[in-house]
């Protein structure tokens, strides 16, 4: 454990924990856009900037992204100094220029006192803030169907060659995690479409309800080391099957103890 | 990182529910006392009070269809409650790509850490018993968490089909329910 100071408050933290996590567990809120508890820190949005210093630094301090800066013994963290707040405002100002029509960005900017961007408004407004939550989630699922492509102003989230991604399983996690709703999809009992790729839905053999895509079942089967048929039955029908097993056990029809 | 899903899910059930009493779930209420969530299928009269209690306790807008305990009705006043077994070697935990499903040391239940959930719904597909559900009103996965060690369905069960009892009591065969003849 290490002992440090955040906004004048003495806190104890696990060694190797990042400042953002330590601050949040101490009840100190730091704004973020690209952070997710389940994913590795990314440092992309630059909103979680904080000032850090130490007693022996003689007043000198440096600005770091709190989501990627590990806790150290004796560190003094300031989450809302004038220059931190001003830098966050610049970040949001730029983000508002890029995404002028995105409610999440508008709200965050307004909370920081920015009503309209002071930069040139993006002539082609987008909802994508390049937080890369979608690509990181896709990596975690073990698919990696999408990625950030190009650099600088041309940077964007896209499938390879802007074509329907061959690896995508249509799980929709990228769309679920997207904070701005930039990733769109359609899903019905018949079919699902995302990233320009169409998927056939897998139907439960008992009730006929479509619950996952064929590609999802195949991917899960590979991950779990079980046959695809394991994932074909929907959860409601699995419950019904379980209820029947219990009824038979209670009635003495099924053996009371099957497993050793 | 290959997840370890039980190869033969059908045989996982009896390990958790070793006797005719139905399903049991292990948990601890106070140090030293292992509490078991016990379901006695024979005593269920399919009244649905547990489903309502669950739906209200978890705020799913009181919709019994969105409960985490499900009664399968197989005749007049005959039902089989199905609820998460909190498996020892759980498929949902094994397949979760973000370790969002963790065992609560105090209650013995597997809890969903929603901050870590990326809504991939792999657990819903992976549970061999269908006890991991999708809660559309709240747009998230939902499972029985034993209400943090005080299951709200238990006090509402009029026949004692659902009980939360110390481990040694859980092994006892339930009293047969005296049912009406009409």
Q: pLDDT tens digits, residue range A33-61?
A: 999 999 999 999 999 999 999 999 999 99
pLDDT at res. B5: 38
Q: What is the pLDDT of residue B176?
A: 80
- Pick from B14, B99, B125: CB nearest A212: B125
Q: Is B91 on the interface with A (CB under 8 A)?
A: yes
Minimal CA separation from A13 to chain B, in Å: 20
pLDDT score at B60: 65
Instruction: Kindly report the backbone phi and psi dihedral angles of residue B178, in degrees, each rounded to the nearest multiple of 5, phi listed first.
Output: -80, 110
Task: Give me the pLDDT at residue B34, please.
Answer: 82
Confidence grade of residue B67 (pLDDT, cut at 50, 70, 90) = confident
Residue with tokens 């439960």: A204
A195 three-state secondary structure: coil
- Using one digit for the tens of pLDDT, what is the confidence trace for B77-119? 889 999 999 999 999 999 999 999 999 988 889 999 999 999 9
Chain B interface includes A203 (CB < 8 A): no
**How far from A24 is each of A81, A116, A227, CA to CA, in Å?**
17, 29, 42
Say whether B130 and A259 touch across the interface (CB within 8 A). Answer: no
Mean pLDDT of chain A: 93
Q: In 3D, which of B112, B136, B133 has the Cα closest to residue A187?
A: B136
Sign of CA dihedral A117, A119, A123, A124: negative
List phi, psi (to 5°) of A199: -125, 145
pLDDT at B157 over 90: yes
Q: Is A259 on the interface with B (CB under 8 A)?
A: yes
- Which ranges of A160-213 would DSSP assign to H, the alpha helix? 173-177
CA distance A225 to B6: 9
Taken in order A199, A200, A204, A208, the sign of the CA dihedral is positive
Reading the block at residue A236, the tokens are 């409601």
Residue range B20-65, pLDDT digits in tens: 344 455 555 555 678 889 999 889 999 999 999 998 888 766 677 7
* pLDDT mean over A108-114: 95
Residue B3 has pLDDT above 60, yes or no: no
Q: Is the pLDDT of residue A255 over 90?
A: no
Nearest to B2 among A225, A245, A257 (CB): A225
C-beta atoms surrounding A159 within 10 Å:
19
Who contacts A196 (Cβ-Cβ below 8 Å, separation ≥6)? A159, A163, A164
Burial (CB < 10 A; 0-12, 13-18, 19+), residue A184, is exposed
Q: Apex CA A188: angle with CA A182 and CA A192, to 5°?
A: 55
What structural domains and CATH numbers belong to chain B? Answer: 19-169 (3.30.70.20)
Q: Identify from A34, A239, A260 which residue to disrupt to test chain B contact, counting B C-beta atoms within 10 A and taking the largest count.
A: A239
Tokens encoding B83 = 């609820």
Range 110-149 of A in CB contact (< 8 A) with B = 137, 140-142
For residue A254, what pLDDT is reported?
64
**Is the pLDDT score of B122 beyond 50?**
yes
* The predicted structure's pLDDT at residue A108: 95
Give the model's pLDDT for residue B167: 83
Q: Which of A246, A248, A260 to mutate to test the interface with B (most CBs of B within 10 A)?
A: A246
Q: Which two tokens stand for residue A244?
A: 């029947």
pLDDT at A98: 95
Beta bridge partners of A6: A9, A77
Where helices occur in A103-210 by DSSP H, the ranges are 103-111, 133-141, 173-177
Instruction: Measure the CA–CA gap between A185 and A197, rounded to whole angstroms.
Output: 10
* Per-residue pLDDT reduced to its tens digit, A197-233: 999 999 999 999 999 999 999 999 998 888 998 999 9
Distance from CA of B162 to the nearest CA of A (A): 14
DSSP H/E element including A51: strand A49-53
Alpha carbon distance A200, A77 (integer Å): 52
Q: Residues 112..141 of B with a Cβ closer than 8 Å to A: which?
A: 113, 115-122, 124-134
- Mean pLDDT, residues A229-254: 87
- The alpha carbon of A98 is separated from its chain's Cα centroid by a whole number of angstroms, namely 21
Average pLDDT, chain B: 81
N- to C-terminal Cα distance for chain A?
45
Q: Look at residue B17 in the predicted model and tell me its pLDDT.
A: 33
Asked if the Cβ–Cβ distance from B118 to A173 is below 8 Å, we say: yes
Of A150 and A256, the one with more pLDDT: A150
> What ipTM was predicted for this assembly?
0.86
Which residue, among B41, B130, B174, would best test binding to A if mutated, counting the most A CBs under 10 Å from its CB?
Answer: B130
Dist. CA B171–CA B18, nearest whole Å: 9
A201 touching B (Cβ < 8 Å): no
Q: Do A224 and B15 touch (CB under 8 A)?
A: no
Nearest Cα residue in chain A from B91: A224
Distance CA B44, CA B115 (A): 36
Looking at per-residue confidence, does B60 or A251 come out higher? A251
Contacts of A137 in chain B (CB under 8 A): 118, 120
Does the beta carbon of B12 lie under 8 angstroms from any beta carbon of chain A? yes
Q: Distance between CA A237 and CA B35 in Å, rounded?
A: 29
B71: nearest CA in chain A? A243
């Amino acid at each position: 454990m290490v002992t440090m100071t955040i906004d004048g408050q003495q806190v104890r933290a696990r060694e190797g924990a990042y400042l953002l996590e330590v601050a949040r567990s101490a009840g100190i809120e730091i704004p973020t856009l690209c952070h997710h508890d389940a994913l590795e820190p990314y440092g992309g949005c630059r909103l979680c900037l904080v000032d850090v210093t130490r007693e022996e630094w003689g007043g000198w301090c440096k600005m770091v992204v709190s989501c990627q800066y590990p806790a150290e013994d004796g560190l003094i963290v300031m989450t809302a100094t004038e220059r931190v707040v001003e830098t966050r405002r610049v970040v949001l100002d730029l983000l508002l220029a890029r995404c002028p029509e995105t409610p999440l960005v508008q709200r965050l900017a307004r909370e920081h006192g920015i009503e309209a961007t002071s930069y040139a408004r993006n002539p082609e407004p987008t909802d994508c803030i390049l937080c890369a939550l979608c690509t990181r989630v896709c990596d975690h699922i073990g698919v990696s169907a999408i990625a950030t492509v190009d650099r600088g102003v041309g940077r964007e989230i896209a499938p390879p060659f802007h074509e329907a991604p061959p690896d995508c399983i249509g799980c929709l996690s990228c769309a679920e995690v997207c904070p701005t709703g930039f990733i769109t999809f359609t899903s019905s009992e018949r079919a699902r479409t995302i990233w320009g790729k169409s998927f056939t839905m897998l139907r439960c053999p008992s009730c006929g309800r479509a619950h996952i895509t064929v590609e999802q079942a195949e991917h899960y089967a590979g991950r779990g080391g079980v046959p695809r048929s394991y994932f074909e039955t929907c959860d409601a029908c699995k419950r019904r099957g379980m209820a029947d097993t219990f009824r038979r056990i209670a009635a003495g029809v099924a053996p009371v103890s099957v497993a050793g | 990182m290959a997840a370890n899903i039980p190869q033969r899910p059908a045989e996982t059930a009896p390990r958790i529910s070793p006797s005719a009493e139905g399903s049991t779930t292990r948990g601890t209420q106070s140090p030293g006392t292992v509490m078991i969530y016990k379901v006695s299928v024979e005593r269920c009269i399919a009244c649905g009070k547990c489903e309502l209690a669950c739906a209200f306790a978890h705020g799913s807008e009181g919709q019994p269809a969105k409960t985490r305990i499900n009664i399968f009705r197989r005749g007049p006043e005959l039902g089989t409650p199905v609820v998460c077994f909190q498996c020892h070697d759980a498929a949902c935990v094994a397949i979760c790509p973000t370790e969002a499903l963790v065992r609560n040391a105090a209650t013995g239940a597997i809890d969903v850490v929603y901050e870590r959930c990326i809504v991939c719904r792999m657990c819903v597909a992976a549970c061999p018993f269908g006890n991991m559900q999708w809660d559309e009103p709240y747009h998230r996965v939902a499972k029985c968490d034993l209400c943090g060690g005080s299951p709200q369905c238990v006090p509402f069960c009029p026949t004692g089909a659902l009980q939360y009892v110390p481990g040694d009591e859980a092994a006892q065969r339930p009293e047969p329910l005296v049912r009406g003849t009409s």
